[in-house]
């Protein structure tokens, strides 16, 4: 306790080394950095900041599969770790999903199990989410993946926005 965070990102300085990837053919949704402005959902980043990463700054599209990757993080020398972030979930509540994964740099192998975010929740404000870092990640150089998949229905929702990402050392 009392140690500084191992990694923090509030997105106020731009994208930095974060990488957004489209995994689908339709290209209807992108991870975009800026001020969210969907039909519903947030109109700022967390803590009324100017920036958050969102599944489109407006409404997300249908049949989308997108990933947002953190910069590489070296988990060597940590006994364990915990990922926390602020999320605003605003989706159709049925067929849209979001997942947090940890992928080893170099070969892109997933370490540990998926951590599914409950996209049936309709947030009215940013909500703190905590994800224990899988033990398989400790000692590795890893990127955190935020993945969002939408179904084939046209919806007027903002999707998922994330802000204030933090990784802290923790007991295993």
Quick check: 67 and 156 in contact, CB under 8 A?
Answer: no
Position 172 confidence tier, pLDDT thresholds 50, 70, 90: confident
This prediction has a pTM of 0.96
| 1 has a pLDDT exceeding 80 | no
pLDDT of residue 71: 98
> Over the stretch 114-151, which tens digit does the pLDDT of each residue have?
999 999 999 999 999 999 999 999 999 999 999 999 99
Distance between CA atoms of residues 65 and 108, nearest Å = 17
Q: Which residues of 62-87 are buried (b: 16+ CB within 10 A; e: fewer)?
A: bbbbbbbbbeebebeebebbebebbb
Contacts of residue 125, Cβ cutoff 8 Å, sequence gap at least 6? 88
> Over the stretch 9-54, which tens digit does the pLDDT of each residue have?
999 999 999 999 999 999 999 999 999 999 999 999 999 999 999 9
C-alpha closest to that of 111 among 152, 92, 83, 150: 83
> Over the stretch 48-97, which tens digit does the pLDDT of each residue have?
999 999 999 999 999 999 999 999 999 998 999 999 999 999 998 889 99
> What are 167's two structure tokens?
């990784």
């Amino acid at each position: 306790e009392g140690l500084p965070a191992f990694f923090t990102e509030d997105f106020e300085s731009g994208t930095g080394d974060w990488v957004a990837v489209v995994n689908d053919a339709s290209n209807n949704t992108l991870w975009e950095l800026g001020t969210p402005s969907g039909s519903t959902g947030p109109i700022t980043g967390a803590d009324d900041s100017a920036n958050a990463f969102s599944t489109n700054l407006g409404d997300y599209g249908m049949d989308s599969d997108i990933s947002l990757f953190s910069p590489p993080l070296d988990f060597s020398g940590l006994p364990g770790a915990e990922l926390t972030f602020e999320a605003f979930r605003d989706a159709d509540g049925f067929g849209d999903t979001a997942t947090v994964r940890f992928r080893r740099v170099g070969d892109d192998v997933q370490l540990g199990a998926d951590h599914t975010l409950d996209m049936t929740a309709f947030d009215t404000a940013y909500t703190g989410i905590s994800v224990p870092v899988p033990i398989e990640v400790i000692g590795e150089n890893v990127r955190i993946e935020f993945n969002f998949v939408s179904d084939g229905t046209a919806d007027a929702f903002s999707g998922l926005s994330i802000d204030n990402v933090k990784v802290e050392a923790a007991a295993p």
